[in-house]
Structure 1
């Protein structure tokens, strides 16, 4: 038998017909406007509903959050649920982003003759689809761990290596001349001095492997601190080499369970960098050049494609090359930007003025300079002052 949600006294209510993406709910939710959120979830979107409920209740303790089960095969039951919510609401906004077209139509019809605002979220914009006007919403802040958790992903190990000016300067020189063994030795010596308990290659490897590991670490250290210096003050979270684990959903307990805690291996990806801008996630692989990044010998970028596909349309993969080889952008296959339906953007790391001019001439993004202008933001990242206001 169809069960209606138990609601107490009449409250300003946001009712959401959930799809697989939690982000539109965050964009539409404003704690200054709503005292209750009702999440309408089918069997496939139940995990999204309970993750959202947990987050909203933790962030806004006085908020009433209800999860109501709906069946996409029975639109009449959905209409009954929506009317029940209207009867127990003091003004209602009805978000129509998720669900099937049939469910959205049923929800619309149930509220069409009522004093209900019908909202739809596109990017960072919330629109009243009846009045054809924008709706003002205060940005609802979440930290990277909370945002990943909404997708059923655990983010750990994101403490960066502390900034060391001498190491950063040498890292930049190694990035520019990664075959210079004297520079490689200088970087390794400084690294061991600063981080003697954090070796990044094992003993017994060949000299070539050793040099490649040192050059790679210097390249990643350079990229991280360039991003941190340029983007952190603009509200972007810059995360160095996090471990990203995909959890398993426990339908009985209505929560995510870490697969590693059950004796399995849930590690999906350990990217070089992750950027979180607003509600958008960018997964980054740092490579010496674009040709190397898209070589079939390397698997990192393919893993990133799969991970980006898992997170959906609010995530994107970036290939960050430290150099642009001559005519390199013309040698990359046309389909290299898109595999399995997930797109990469190409960037080249800021270097010397001469190198930067070549990158611009090749019509390729320069990192981190072009990141904020090239990357879509949903919603806009808040400054530190705005977050503490």
Structure 2
């Protein structure tokens, strides 16, 4: 049977602690979450500002459904682009300081759309080795030469740029790296792009709403070479993504980006929800202040442990461990103590880890208890 090989592969994954399975959530996202019949403190979610179940955003989505219906009917270029989509794109562009923006249904789709439209055969991409899988897939599908540099290694990036004869050059980076929690040196990368006539495509899925007073990792960078992407399902608490850039770039994507052209537009009700979310991000700076307090609390709690906590000032706090079995054991121990923390294993990352995600929705006591319980487990599990 053709399924025998699939079953054998799954058995091998189980034997090496790499098997994955879904858990069933029985309520909305929040600091406390019902999962598989248990109430747990949620340290898995990318809902960094606690907006995913905000009553004002929920009300905006409900009003949007009443006005626009649920389905958008067609692609943006046919009859699916509503006044709500247009207003959202205008608001997002202004918020991140770019002249134009384009909305897409997911961040994965945005990355595929932009990279494959902007470069192809005869062109070259220069990509950080720790970029998200969606960026790597986009780079491979583009048919451009795909050159990777060591994580945040600007010297290697410059050597690659200095020796290319490609027609178009595109530097592709995560602005905040989703599994390490650290940031790309965007200002320095932009300077290299200007020196070597390149574009910079920055995926700020985990920086938008959190960094730069909510405006993202590229705040203060005023360069037409920057093509900025952010997702709306993390700190913004809704769904979708947008690309912000010069008008000519956005117009080019509208005309050439296949994942944008050949898919049904996201529901307009989500655009209405995003408009309210951006207002909250802009207005409620206390959410970012609380988040920074939680980060400091957790890191302080783990100082006296043998933990290898990566140097991150973002809500993503990764803790490296010896192997996948240890990662799973720690995650199980935390679940027994009432916390839900994700164990991230290869091939998603080269080194197994716990990926602890903090949110403004957490109370100080939530974070303190996680720190204390994790410290106790680490002293027993990590050598």
TM-score under structure 1 length normalisation: 0.26
* Greater fraction strand: 1
Structure number with the bigger relative contact order (C-alpha 8 A, sep ≥ 6) is 2
* Greater fraction helix: 2
Larger radius of gyration, structure 1 or 2? Answer: 1
TM-score under structure 2 length normalisation: 0.26
